[in-house]
Amino acid sequence: MSGEAKMENRAILDRLMAAEKVEDVRAVLAECRQHPTVDLVPFGRLDNNRGAIEVASDPARSAIERVTNAHDAILEYEHDQHDGKPKSGSPREAAAHWLGVPMKGELSALGTGDRQRLAAETVVRLEEGEGWQSRLLTVIDRGTGIAPEQMEGTILSLNESNKIQKHYLAGTYGQGGSSTLVFSKYVLIASRAVGSDEIAFTVVWYQDLPADQYKTGRYVYLTRDGGLLTAKVEDGDPERGTVVRHFGYDLSGCTSSIGPKSLYGALQRVLFDPVAPIRFENRVHGWNRTIKGSRNALNGAVDDGDDGTAKGPEITTGSLRSTSLWGTTGRSASSIGSSPAN
């Protein structure tokens, strides 16, 4: 791809990362699609992909599948950093070996500071969007990232077997994260693989097809010159990891800021005993929390804001292109904990 195209791609990425509303994304796509080398590809390379994607009925649970993918990306990074040693037969063992999460006591056995630092590796961010029925929901991980040539066979695929022999990861069926598509107007996926000087990205959405020719539409993603869009990294970009921004995410069932009818409540409830904590940033109401699962909370894990009187750790308010968007901290997750897991 030419240098001119690279610069154009960077401008596209910057605009998509800065977008706050569905209309912002729609405007960028309208311009992109005027370019003769831009094309749309069916998600999973399947023309008839709607049935496989629209199996979910709960947007909060679907969001949690993105969290699971984020945790897998972090464990994959740590697996590579440790050359797969010691061998881990489950995500729980992997978290103990490589993240310093004790087998006994798990997240509740970590100190508050260590738990919050580990939570910063996986961020779920809720923003205003157009309202409860159309939020901007972002899931960020500081994991291994995905190379441009690997995205179509991983995060843009359906029912692939990428993780089926990796017992240290939670994912199995190669489909979970795609269930968020049905609740979104547009989904931006951007990733930088470890050691890469490029960010690969695309946008996914549901495409209506002519009713006189097709019984149903399909989910598609944006390509250019026959492949994923890529942009050269710049100062302030993350050193690795993936960000998934869901525009127009339907959270009409989560009408409260906190409690059982909130996204925070659903995350805390469904992530009953996660292998790693997550950082939940509620930018609609101006607070955040460290989510470690109800089991660990019952076992005595307490973080800032758990009593409802504090806002939790301070939210970083940098530019949308800053590393704060991707949850980078400039450190390895494996540095958490002062002693080996027991």
**Strands annotated E in the chain:** 38-42, 122-131, 134-141, 186-192, 198-207, 218-224, 229-232, 241-249, 278-282, 287-291
Average pLDDT, the chain: 85
Q: What pLDDT, on a 0 to 100 scale, did the predictor assign at position 268?
A: 85
**Extents of the domains making up the chain:** 3-331
User: Angle at which helices 59-81 and 263-270 pack, to 10 degrees?
Assistant: 50
pLDDT tens digits, 103-127: 887 788 788 888 889 999 999 999 9
Name the nearest CA neighbour of 133 among 249, 245, 25: 249
Q: Distance (Å, rounded) from C-alpha 342 to C-alpha 323?
A: 33
pLDDT tens digits, 25-66: 999 999 999 999 999 999 999 999 999 999 989 999 999 999
Collect all residues with Cβ–Cβ distance below 8 Å to 299 and sequence separation of at least 6.
105, 106, 108
**pLDDT at 321 > cutoff 60:** no
Over residues 248-252, mean pLDDT: 96
Collect all residues with Cβ–Cβ distance below 8 Å to 231 and sequence separation of at least 6.
6, 9, 10, 12, 13, 198, 199, 201
Q: What pLDDT, on a 0 to 100 scale, did the predictor assign at position 303?
A: 58
Q: What pLDDT, on a 0 to 100 scale, did the predictor assign at position 325?
A: 43
* Choice between 94 and 312, residue whose per-residue pLDDT is larger: 94
Fold of 3-331: Heat Shock Protein 90 (3.30.565)
Total length of the chain? 342
**Residue 126 in contact with residue 135, Cβ under 8 Å?**
yes
Amino acid at 37: T
Q: Distance (Å, rounded) from C-alpha 181 to C-alpha 327?
A: 22
Tokens of 35: 């370019």
* Percentage of the chain modeled with pLDDT above 90: 66
Over residues 155-165, mean pLDDT: 83
**Residue 159 in contact with residue 52, Cβ under 8 Å?**
yes
Q: What pLDDT, on a 0 to 100 scale, did the predictor assign at position 67?
A: 95
Question: Could you identify the residue written with the tokens 């798990």?
Answer: 106
pLDDT tens digits, 189-239: 999 999 999 999 999 999 999 999 999 999 999 999 999 999 999 999 999
Q: What pLDDT, on a 0 to 100 scale, did the predictor assign at position 163?
A: 82
Q: What pLDDT, on a 0 to 100 scale, did the predictor assign at position 328?
A: 39
Residue 270: pLDDT band with limits 50, 70, 90: confident
Collect all residues with Cβ–Cβ distance below 8 Å to 202 and sequence separation of at least 6.
151, 156, 188, 189, 221, 222, 223, 228, 229
Residue 302: pLDDT band with limits 50, 70, 90: low
